[in-house]
Structure 1
Amino acid sequence: MKPKILLTGAFGNVGQRTLKELLKREYQVTCFELKNENNQELKEKLLENGEFKTIWGNITDKNDVNKAIKGKDYIIHLAAIIPPLSESNPELAEKVNVEGTRNLVDAAKELPVSPRFILASSIAVFGPTMHLEPPVTLDYPLNPSNTYSNTKVKAEKIVRESGLSWLILRLSSVSVEEIQLDFDPILYEVPLEQRIEFVASRDCGIAFTNAISLNDINRTFSIGGGEGCQLTEREFLKGFFDAFGLPMLPDKAFKKPTGKDDWYNIDWIDTTESQKALNYQNETFEEYIERIKKKFRWRRLAIKMISPIVKYTLVRKSPYS
Structure 2
Amino acid sequence: MSGWQKIVFLTGATGNMGRVTLAELLARSDRFRVRALVRPEDRNHPVVRRFTGRAALEWVWGDLTRYEDVLAGVTGADQVLHIGGMVSPLADRFPELTMQVNVGGARNIVDAIRRSGQADHTALVYIGTVAQTGHRNPPVHWGRTGDPIKISRFDHYAVSKTEAEAIVAQSGLTRWVSLRQTGILHPDMWKIHDPIVFHNPHNGVFEWITVGDSARLAVNTCEDAVPEAFWRGFYNIGGGERMRLVNHQFSRHLAAALGTDMQASTRPNWTGTRNFHGQWYADSDRLEHLVPFRSETMDDFTRQLAAGVPGIVRLLARMFPGAGRRRMEKLARGPGGTLHWIAHDDRARIDAYFGSRAAWDALPAEWGDFVYREPSREVCCLDHGHDADKPIEECSTADLKAAAAFRGGRFAGDAFEPDAPARFACALGHDFSMTPRLYLKGGHWCPTCMTNPDSYDANRARNPFFAQVWPDTD
Q: Tell me if both proteins adopt one fold, taking TM over 0.5 as the criterion.
A: yes
Q: Which amino acid aligns with 1:183?
A: H
**What SS does the corresponding residue of 2:81 show, helix, strand or coil?**
strand
Taking a change above 3 Å as real, the CA distance of residues 256 and 69 of structure 1, as seen in their structure-2 partners, is: closer
Rounded to whole Å, the distance in 2 between the matches of 1:68 and 1:49 is 17
Taking a change above 3 Å as real, the CA distance of residues 139 and 157 of structure 1, as seen in their structure-2 partners, is: same
Rounded to whole Å, the distance in 1 between the matches of 2:277 and 2:330 is 25
2:182 to 172, 189, 199: 172
Does structure 2 conserve the Cα–Cα contact (< 8 Å) formed by 1:121 and 1:156? yes
1:152-201 Cα offsets, whole Å, 9 max, x none, are 11111101111111011101000122264451221011111111121101
Q: Which deviates further from its counterpart, 39-48 or 26-35?
A: 39-48
Please show how residues 241-256 of structure 1 align to structure 2 within 5 Å: 241-248=255-262, 249-252=265-268, 254-256=270-272
Partner residue of 1:199?
Answer: 209
Does structure 2 conserve the Cα–Cα contact (< 8 Å) formed by 1:179 and 1:244? no
Partner residue of 2:86?
Answer: 81
1:55-96 Cα offsets, whole Å, 9 max, x none, are 111110111112222211100001111111111111011000
1:116 to 123, 131, 134: 123
Deviation at 1:320, TM superposition (A): 4.2
Please show how residues 214-293 of structure 1 align to structure 2 within 5 Å: 214-215=226-227, 216=229, 217-248=231-262, 249-252=265-268, 254-257=270-273, 262-270=274-282, 271-293=284-306
**What SS does the corresponding residue of 1:36 show, helix, strand or coil?**
helix
Tell me if 1:54 matches 2:68: no
Partner residue of 1:15?
Answer: 18
Rounded to whole Å, the distance in 1 between the matches of 2:141 and 2:221 is 26
Rounded to whole Å, the distance in 2 between the matches of 1:182 and 1:48 is 31
Q: Which deviates further from its counterpart, 110-119 or 39-48?
A: 39-48
Rounded to whole Å, the distance in 1 between the matches of 2:236 and 2:207 is 11
Rounded to whole Å, the distance in 1 between the matches of 2:19 and 2:53 is 12
Q: Which amino acid aligns with 2:170?
A: E
Deviation at 1:15, TM superposition (A): 0.3
Deviation at 1:23, TM superposition (A): 1.4
- Identity among equivalent pairs (%): 24
Tell me if 1:126 matches 2:136: no
Partner residue of 2:161?
Answer: 152
Larger Rg: 2
1:268-300 Cα offsets, whole Å, 9 max, x none, are 12312111112111111122101222344xx1x
Taking a change above 3 Å as real, the CA distance of residues 33 and 230 of structure 1, as seen in their structure-2 partners, is: same
Does structure 1 conserve the Cα–Cα contact (< 8 Å) formed by 2:198 and 2:272? no
Tell me if 1:5 matches 2:15: no
Taking a change above 3 Å as real, the CA distance of residues 179 and 142 of structure 1, as seen in their structure-2 partners, is: closer
Q: Which deviates further from its counterpart, 16-25 or 286-295?
A: 286-295
Deviation at 1:33, TM superposition (A): 1.4
Does structure 1 conserve the Cα–Cα contact (< 8 Å) formed by 2:168 and 2:176? yes
Flag structure 2 segments of 5+ consecutive residues without an equivalent. 340-474
Partner residue of 1:312?
Answer: 326
2:103 to 98, 102, 117: 98
Tell me if 1:294 matches 2:291: no
TM-score after normalising by structure 1 = 0.91
Rounded to whole Å, the distance in 1 between the matches of 2:176 and 2:132 is 18
Q: Which amino acid aligns with 1:133?
A: V
Does structure 1 conserve the Cα–Cα contact (< 8 Å) formed by 2:266 and 2:325? no
**What SS does the corresponding residue of 1:21 show, helix, strand or coil?**
helix
Partner residue of 2:197?
Answer: 187
Rounded to whole Å, the distance in 1 between the matches of 2:217 and 2:298 is 17
**What SS does the corresponding residue of 1:80 show, helix, strand or coil?**
coil
**What SS does the corresponding residue of 1:207 show, helix, strand or coil?**
helix
Taking a change above 3 Å as real, the CA distance of residues 273 and 83 of structure 1, as seen in their structure-2 partners, is: same
**What SS does the corresponding residue of 2:143 show, helix, strand or coil?**
coil
Taking a change above 3 Å as real, the CA distance of residues 310 and 158 of structure 1, as seen in their structure-2 partners, is: same
CA RMSD of aligned residues (A): 2.0
Flag structure 1 segments of 5+ consecutive residues without an equivalent. none
**What SS does the corresponding residue of 1:291 show, helix, strand or coil?**
helix
Q: Which amino acid aligns with 1:65?
A: V
TM-score after normalising by structure 2 = 0.63
Rounded to whole Å, the distance in 2 between the matches of 1:294 and 1:92 is 36
Deviation at 1:49, TM superposition (A): 7.7
Taking a change above 3 Å as real, the CA distance of residues 96 and 184 of structure 1, as seen in their structure-2 partners, is: same
Q: Which amino acid aligns with 2:182?
A: S
Rounded to whole Å, the distance in 2 between the matches of 1:76 and 1:39 is 23
Deviation at 1:118, TM superposition (A): 0.4
Rounded to whole Å, the distance in 1 between the matches of 2:106 and 2:150 is 21
Rounded to whole Å, the distance in 1 between the matches of 2:34 and 2:102 is 22
Taking a change above 3 Å as real, the CA distance of residues 46 and 135 of structure 1, as seen in their structure-2 partners, is: farther
Deviation at 1:19, TM superposition (A): 1.0
Q: Which deviates further from its counterpart, 155-164 or 265-274?
A: 265-274
